[in-house]
Amino acid sequence: MVKGKTVILADIPKKVMAEATSLLESLTQGADTQIDDNSSKDDLENRMPGYSFLTNTRDNHFALITRFLSDRQYALGQERGEVKWNAVLTGDWMRKVQELNMCLIFLIHLGSGQPAWGTEILGILFRNMQNVHRSLFMTPDGLATIIGYNKTNSTAGVE
How do residues 45-95 score in pLDDT, each as one tens digit?
888 888 887 775 545 555 566 666 667 788 787 788 887 888 898 899 889
Of 20-24, 44-48, 142-146, least confident by mean pLDDT is 142-146
3-state SS, the chain, equals CECCECCCCCHHHHHHHHHHHHHHHHHCCCCCCCCCCCCCCCCCCCCCCCCCHHHHCCCCHHHHHHHHHHCCCCEEEEECCEEEECHHHHHHHHHHHHHHHHHHHHHHHHHCCCCCCHHHHCCCCCCCCCCCCCCEEEECCEEEECCCCCHHHHHHCCC
How do residues 112-139 score in pLDDT, each as one tens digit? 666 656 666 667 777 888 888 787 777 7
pLDDT at 106 exceeding the cut of 80: yes
| Number of structural domains in the chain | 1
Q: Is residue 6 part of a domain?
A: no
Q: Is residue 4 part of a domain?
A: no
At 76 the pLDDT is 82
Q: Is residue 88 part of a domain?
A: yes
Average pLDDT of 33-40?
A: 61
Q: Is residue 3 part of a domain?
A: no
Range of the domain at 91: 11-156
pLDDT at 154 exceeding the cut of 70: no
Q: Is residue 132 part of a domain?
A: yes
At 58 the pLDDT is 47
Is residue 135 within 8 A of residue 148, CB to CB? The reply is yes
